[in-house]
Amino acid sequence: MATLYIVRHGETEENHRHVLQGQLPGTLTDEGRRQVAEAAKRLVEMKAACSQIISSDLKRAIDSAGIIASKLHLPIVPMPLLRERDWGEFNGMPIDEARERFLHDGEWVFPPDTVETEDAVYQRAKDALLALARTCHGDSAVVVTHGLFARNLIAAHFGLSPRMVKPLENAEVRILEL
């Protein structure tokens, strides 16, 4: 059995500006770097006996993983499956504008073929869980990813809807036993 310490990346400039980041690289703020350093401290205090850090390959996650790696002295393994939802042509759009244009009765309704669907994100989370299990070989790992994708990972593990999983704060750590 493997223990995954799932960590959402630290606050980014884009979080601060309230935009749909999706597949954008993202730039950590000073606060975001501080948040991740605190998360690394919590991991040390939890005595997280991990063999590696597996991270989304997007810059904001890799930068967060680097801060954690400097404290835990672990290698970073990039995994593109851990990327955030792809908002397609709407990456970078202000969230308020996206809500006004595309949120109807609590459901996102985007023009067809422009955005990764919720079902596709959930399936990718299932695929990521299988890949994580193979990559970990029963060892524990820190997994650095994104807020919405982390919810999908947790939901897929338990067979829940992602909406049933409480959103993760920046640099929050959640534990998942595989």
Catalytic positions are 9, 84
**Contact (CB, 8 A) for 23 and 80:** no
User: Is-contact 102 94, C-beta < 8 A?
Assistant: no
Spatial contact of 51 and 139, defined as CB atoms under 8 Å apart:
yes
Q: Which residue has the tokens 């601060």?
A: 16
Q: Are 49 and 140 in contact (CB under 8 A)?
A: yes
**Beta bridge mates, 143:** 6, 54
